[in-house]
Amino acid sequence: MREDVEALDIRDVTANWVNAAVLSAQIDERIKALADLSHTPLFFGRLDYLHTTQEGQRFYIGRRHVHDADGDPMVIDWRAPVSQPFYRASRKDPQDVALRRRFGYTGGDLTAYEDEHLSDPAEEEKASRLLQAEIERPRVGPMRDIVATIQPEQDEIVRSGLAGSVCVQGGPGTGKTAVGLHRVAYLLYAHRERLARTGTLVIGPNRSFLHYIEQVLPALGELEVRQATVADLVAHVEVRGTDDAETAVVKGDARMAEVLRRALRSHVTPPAEPLVVVRGSRRWRIPAYELEEIVTELLDRDIRYGAARDALPQRIAHAVLVRMEQAGEAPDDRVQDAVARNPAVKAVVKAVWPAVDPAKLVLRLLSDADFLAEHAAGLLTADEQKAVLWAKPPRSVKSAKWSAADAVLIDEAADLVERTPSLGHVVLDEAQDLSPMQYRAVGRRCSTGSATVLGDLAQGTTPWATASWAEALGHLGKPDAVVEELTAGFRVPREVIAYASRLLPHMSPGLAEVRSVRESPGSLEIVRCGADDLAASVVAACRTSLEHEGSIGLIAADARVPVLAEALREAGLPWLSPGEETTAASRLTLVPASLAKGLEYDYVVLDEPAAVVDGEPDERTGLRRLYVALTRAVSGLTVVHAAPLPSQLD
Shortest separation between residue 427's beta carbon and ligand ATP, angstroms: 11
Shortest separation between residue 440's beta carbon and ligand ATP, angstroms: 23
Please report the beta strands in 396-475, taking only residues with DSSP state E, as ranges in sequence order: 425-428, 450-455
Cβ neighbors of 192 (< 8 A, separation 6 or more) are none
Interface mask toward ligand ATP for 469-508; x: CB under 6 A: ---------------------xx-----------------
> Which residue's Cβ has the minimum distance to ligand ATP?
175
Nearer to ligand ATP, 456 or 495 (CB): 456
Hey, which residues does 633 pair with through a beta bridge? 601
Shortest separation between residue 171's beta carbon and ligand ATP, angstroms: 7
Size of the site for ligand ATP (CB under 6 A): 22
Among 160, 169, 174, 621, binds ligand ATP (CB under 6 A): 174
Among 166, 178, 363, 561, binds ligand ATP (CB under 6 A): 178
- In the sheet that 601-607 helps form, which strands lie side by side, from edge to edge? 524-528, 633-641, 601-607, 552-556, 588-592
Shortest separation between residue 560's beta carbon and ligand ATP, angstroms: 22
DSSP one-letter code for 139: P
- CA 408 to CA 476: how far, in whole Å? 14
151 binds ligand ATP (CB under 6 A): yes
Shortest separation between residue 179's beta carbon and ligand ATP, angstroms: 7
134 binds ligand ATP (CB under 6 A): yes
Cα-flanking dihedrals φ and ψ of residue 177, to 5°? -60, -45
Contact stretch for ligand ATP (CB under 6 A) within 21-29, 85-93, 145-153, 194-202: 145-153
Please report the beta strands in 131-196, taking only residues with DSSP state E, as ranges in sequence order: 166-170
- CA 424 to CA 419: how far, in whole Å? 15
Interface mask toward ligand ATP for 430-469; x: CB under 6 A: --------------------------x--x----------
Contact stretch for ligand ATP (CB under 6 A) within 171-179, 345-353, 372-380, 504-512: 171-179
- CA 559 to CA 574: how far, in whole Å? 20
172 binds ligand ATP (CB under 6 A): yes
Nearer to ligand ATP, 284 or 490 (CB): 490
Other beta carbons within 10 angstroms of residue 640's beta carbon come to 26
- Taking phi over 0 as left and psi of -120 to 50 as alpha, with beta for the rest, 510 belongs to left
- CA 239 to CA 269: how far, in whole Å? 33
176 binds ligand ATP (CB under 6 A): yes
622 binds ligand ATP (CB under 6 A): no
Q: Is the dihedral of CA 290, 292, 297, 298 positive or negative?
A: positive
175 binds ligand ATP (CB under 6 A): yes
Q: Strand, helix or coil at 383?
A: helix
Residues in region 590-609 near ligand ATP by CB under 6 A: 598, 600
Among 75, 98, 146, 588, binds ligand ATP (CB under 6 A): 146
Half-sphere exposure of 489 (CA within 13 A, CB side): 25
Half-sphere exposure of 631 (CA within 13 A, CB side): 33
- Taking phi over 0 as left and psi of -120 to 50 as alpha, with beta for the rest, 75 belongs to beta
Cα 473 to Cα 406, 438, 453, 466, 552: the distances in Å are: 22, 12, 9, 10, 36
Chain centroid to Cα 304, Å, comes to 27
173 is in an annotated binding site: yes
Shortest separation between residue 491's beta carbon and ligand ATP, angstroms: 4
* 550 and 138 Cβ atoms separated by less than 8 Å: yes
Among 89, 150, 564, 623, binds ligand ATP (CB under 6 A): 150
Cβ neighbors of 161 (< 8 A, separation 6 or more) are none
Among 62, 104, 170, 443, binds ligand ATP (CB under 6 A): 170
174 is in an annotated binding site: yes
Shortest separation between residue 416's beta carbon and ligand ATP, angstroms: 34
Contact stretch for ligand ATP (CB under 6 A) within 146-154, 384-392, 603-611, 616-624: 146-154
Nearer to ligand ATP, 154 or 438 (CB): 154
Residues in region 263-322 near ligand ATP by CB under 6 A: none
Q: Which residues bind ligand ATP (CB under 6 A)?
A: 131, 134-135, 146, 149-151, 154, 170, 172-178, 456, 459, 490-491, 598, 600
Q: Annotated binding site for ATP, which residues?
A: 170-177
